[in-house]
Structure 1
Amino acid sequence: MKRIFLIAIATITTIIFWISFSQDTVDDLPGDFKEMAFYRNENNTGPIIRKYVVSISDTLWQEMEQYGQMMPYTKYGTTTVFFFLQGSDMPKSINPDFPSFDVQYQSSCIGKFNRNATGLSSFTRYPILSQAY
């Protein structure tokens, strides 16, 4: 009986580790995503704000949204990812305030993923056209 119990515990532990370490990451997505700029406020007691500028090799809309979903998120915080095509003009740094980067780069932004303080996420194609900044 004790042997069966130990085998069951070992099997369950192995399955848990296998599932934990075999999950997809942003590196598994097609599109050659590269993080070009990152901002995180230093507030660890209140809402945490994360902003990213990411380059991608093509307009892979579904993969951009998946990338955004995989980025870190903190309850009551926000996570925003701005996507730019590789080789296009893009910001080297990002600001905590609006606008997140210089207006000269807005026309190069092809996508924006946002997860708000309530956990709701949205993805906008060509956000400058829809004024989603």
Structure 2
Amino acid sequence: MKYLKYLLLLAVIGAAVGFYQYNKPHQNMEKADADVTMTATELFQAFEKDELSANETYLDKVVEVKGEVQQVSNNDEGGISLTLNSGNDMFGVICQLDELTEHQKTTFEPGEEVTVKGICTGMLMDVVLVRCVVKG
């Protein structure tokens, strides 16, 4: 009986924490200050040179990158991803536009210069930024 009381208390605390995390407001990416500003090529080269060090520097940080649109793709839910030229023929910097933001611009052309701000999630083959907004 004594353990049941503690187990019930633990369950209530767990439910409260879960409820808070689920309803926690998202960071407004348009108003978020960039932790780092650089070109897409510089960001990609930092990961290519030393991924461990780059993860320490950029992972989960708001990164603002400037670069040339290499490719534009849409997913089934209507999400837009821009791949910025990284100086590497095979891989680039993928910027997934934030689905919680109403974007002023949603059409992009290859070769167009853009400045994008988003949260860096690291490198798989490409460097990935999520929750991105296009500046200016």
Q: TM-score band, normalised by the shorter chain?
A: 0.3 to 0.5
Higher relative contact order (CA 8 A, sep 6+): 2
The TM-score normalised by the length of structure 2 is 0.33
